[in-house]
Amino acid sequence: MKLTDISTFVVGNPTPGNGGRYFVFVRLTTDGNVHGVGEAYCVPFHPDIVAHMAVDVFGRYFAGRDPHDIESLWRRVYSAGYTQHADLSLMGVLSALEMACWDIIGKEAGQPVYKLLGGRVHERLRSYTYIYARPGDATDVYADPELAAQRATEYVAQGFTALKFDPAGPYSAFDGRLLSLAAMERCERFMRLLREAVGTRADLLFGTHGQMTAAGAVRLARRLEPYDPLWFEEPVPPDAPEEMARVAAATRIPIAAGERLATKYDFGRLLRAGGAAILQMNLGRVGGILEAKKIAAMAEVQQALIAPHLYCGPVVGAANIQLATCSPNFLILEGIERWQGSHADVLKKPIRWEEGYVIPPIEPGLGVELNDAFIARHPYQGDRLHLEMGQEPLQG
- Would you please indicate which residues are annotated as catalytic (active-site) residues? 209, 309
297-328 CB burial, b ≥16 within 10 A, e <16: ebbeeeebbbbbbbbbbbbbbbbbbbbbbbbe
Q: What is the dihedral of CA 29, 381, 344, 91, to 10 degrees?
A: 50
CA 367 – CA 265 distance, rounded (Å)? 29
Beta-bridge partner residues of 333: 127
Q: Which of 238, 235, 185 is nearest to 214 (CA)?
A: 235
- On the question of a cis peptide bond just before residue 235, with omega within 30 degrees of 0, the verdict is no
SS3 365: strand
Cβ distance 264 to 289 under 8 Å? no
Longest dimension (CA), the chain: 62
CA 122 – CA 97 distance, rounded (Å)? 26
Phi first, then psi: what are they for 306, rounded to 5°?
Answer: -115, 145
Cβ distance 9 to 371 under 8 Å? no
